[in-house]
Amino acid sequence: MLDPEYWRDSGHVVGQAPGRGQSLFLDLGEQQWVLRPYRRGGMVARLSRSHYLWTGIERTRAFREVELTATLFDAGLPVPRPILGGVIRQGPTYQAALITQRLPQTRALAEALASHEVDAELLADVGRVIRRCHDQGLDHVDLNARNLLIDTTRQVWLIDLDRCRLRRPGRWQDANLARLGRSLERFCATSTAAAQALAEIQRGYRSEEGSGSH
């Protein structure tokens, strides 16, 4: 179930998401899943794109992400339902993959921004969701406009929790928002539009202060 070729050969692959992990969309009839193999980026990918050093099952990326995703899902936060995280050990290294429930009829915030299909209140909702996750302690180390999804009811979802963790409040919260701000500059038409989008997100983020929403 962790092997993309298994799903391709069985005819269940109905699409593929962008990114180095090349996530596959799987149609199992009543269930719609996403299979995401773990892949390295940057300079280290020249040595190996898919192998990681084995230091115990609980320290593998798949174990940590599925555990974190389950914790947030059980807390009622808008993250995909985890289905399966698994590793294949090969001596001192391992490969891993994650399967989650596919969120139906969603599009990335990045896509909505590029096509000018967002408004101030939707951006404020993005900020509210981020604040709820922060209040739960989630440090999303790759908070960007591709990892925020919007469905047809305007519900905002947060995906891709690889390498993320739960922490006490701190400067990492501002760092998350700053990273998102840099991402907005890639998908908004102008730097002014990106700044305005971030301001609306921050407005929603501040509106959750003291609400007790988790």
Query: What is the signed CA dihedral for 159, 165, 167, 170, rounded to 10 degrees?
Result: -60
CB neighbour list of residue 82: distance below 8 Å, 6 or more residues apart: 66, 69, 70, 73, 98, 99, 100, 101
Burial environment of residue 136 by CB neighbours within 10 A (0 to 12, 13 to 18, 19 or more): middle
Query: Do the beta carbons of residue 162 and residue 155 sit within 8 Å?
Result: no
> How many angstroms separate the first and last alpha carbons of the chain?
33
Rounded CA-CA distance 202/206 in Å is 6
Say which of 27, 135, 142, 151 is annotated catalytic. 142
Note whether 200 and 127 are within 8 A (CB). yes
Active site residue 135: no
Q: What does the alpha-carbon distance between residue 214 and residue 208 come to, in Å, rounded to a whole number?
A: 10
Residues acting as catalytic residues: 142
